[in-house]
């Protein structure tokens, strides 16, 4: 029960901060959180520690728990990504993550074609084949699980431990896209083939082909979802305000 309440408090406060309901600079008090969410002081204390680790808040002695600006958030943490994708500002989050994927995943595929162990490249090819079969069936839940596995394998096969740690981010954005109704019920045949092309190039040790196929996947992804962020302003952290 305590663990469940702890998670509920983290999720409630995290969503409210990320959505802007609790804006940067806003100060919360433990007593008010206890009363509002009907939880104990120890549950609030543990939840605040987690939110602090995510960069969402800071505890200020004799003041309370202060909400921090976006520039302090751990923006690649899966929880923050999930909350942002569930907020009104999801377009900005889709754009930022998709652009990050577009920069990283083609490079990861290229590295994987050079360095991937044989067992990883073989598994990748198997997952790509399953993706094509499941994609044609229209089973989006199974397709999502396989798609997450495919892209996580490419990151891991690159041999770059920093790329590999982005698998949680990949999982959240792919899940968010499906849950937001931005995935077609039957993925396009070209997209399915491109996943096979990536896996085949990696197994065949063809770095340029692997990079190109993954780049094609990302360009296709952008074309399919960019309407979500068409009207969203870009974010420029640290930019000095204009002098009037």
Q: What domains sit in the chain, N to C, each tagged with a CATH number?
A: 2-72 (1.10.10.10), 78-229 (1.20.120.530)
What is the reported pLDDT for 55?
Answer: 98
pLDDT over 60 (residue 1)? no
Q: Shortest CA distance to 122 belongs to which of 153, 147, 148? A: 153
Sign of CA dihedral 100, 66, 17, 243: negative
Mean local confidence (pLDDT), 54-65: 94
Indicate the average pLDDT of the chain.
Answer: 94
- 240 pLDDT band, cuts 50/70/90, is low
For the chain, report the end-to-end CA distance as a whole number of angstroms.
Answer: 55
Encode pLDDT of 128-146 as tens digits: 999 999 999 999 999 999 9
Is the alpha carbon torsion for 138, 130, 194, 107 positive or negative?
Answer: positive
Is residue 229 within 8 Å of 95, Cβ to Cβ? Answer: yes
Give per-residue pLDDT as tens, 95-118. Answer: 999 999 999 999 999 999 999 999
Tokens of 59: 């505890």
**Other beta carbons within 10 Å of 112:** 32
Residues 152-164, mean pLDDT to the nearest whole number: 98
Per-residue pLDDT of 203-221, as tens digits, reads 999 999 999 999 999 999 9
Which of the four pLDDT bands, split at 50, 70 and 90, describes residue 23? Answer: very high
Instruction: Reduce the DSSP state of residue 56 to 3 states and report it.
Output: coil
- Would you say residue 18 has pLDDT above 60? yes
pLDDT at 244 over 50: no
* Per-residue pLDDT, 5: 87
Average pLDDT over residues 55-83: 95
Number of H helices, E strands in the chain: 11, 3
Strand pairing category for 27-28 and 57-60: unpaired
Exposure b/e, 44-78, CB count within 10 A at least 16 = b: bebbbebbeebbbbeeeeeebbebbebeebebebb
Q: pLDDT (tens digit, 9 = 90+) per residue, 168-188?
A: 999 999 999 999 999 988 899
């Amino acid at each position: 029960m305590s663990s469940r309440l702890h998670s509920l408090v983290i999720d409630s406060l995290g969503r409210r901060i990320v959505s802007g309901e609790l804006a940067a600079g806003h100060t919360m008090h433990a007593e008010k959180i206890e009363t509002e969410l009907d939880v104990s002081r120890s549950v609030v204390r543990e939840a605040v520690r987690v939110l602090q680790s995510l960069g969402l808040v800071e505890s200020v002695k004799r003041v309370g728990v202060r909400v921090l600006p976006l520039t302090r958030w751990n923006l690649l943490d899966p929880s923050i990504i999930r909350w942002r994708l569930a907020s009104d500002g999801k377009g900005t989050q889709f754009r930022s993550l998709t652009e990050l994927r577009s920069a990283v995943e083609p490079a990861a595929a290229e590295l994987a074609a050079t360095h991937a162990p044989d067992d990883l490249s073989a598994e990748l090819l198997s997952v790509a084949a399953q993706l094509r079969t499941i994609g044609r069936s229209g089973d989006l839940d199974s397709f999502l699980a396989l798609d997450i596995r495919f892209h996580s394998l490419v990151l891991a096969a690159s041999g770059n431990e920093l790329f590999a740690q982005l698998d949680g981010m990949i999982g959240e954005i792919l899940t968010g896209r499906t849950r937001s109704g931005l995935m077609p019920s039957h993925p396009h045949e070209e997209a399915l083939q491109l996943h096979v092309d990536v896996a085949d190039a990696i197994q065949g040790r063809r770095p340029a082909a692997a990079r190109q196929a993954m780049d094609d996947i990302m360009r296709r992804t952008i074309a399919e979802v960019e309407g979500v962020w068409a009207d969203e302003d870009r974010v420029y952290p640290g930019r000095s305000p204009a002098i009037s």
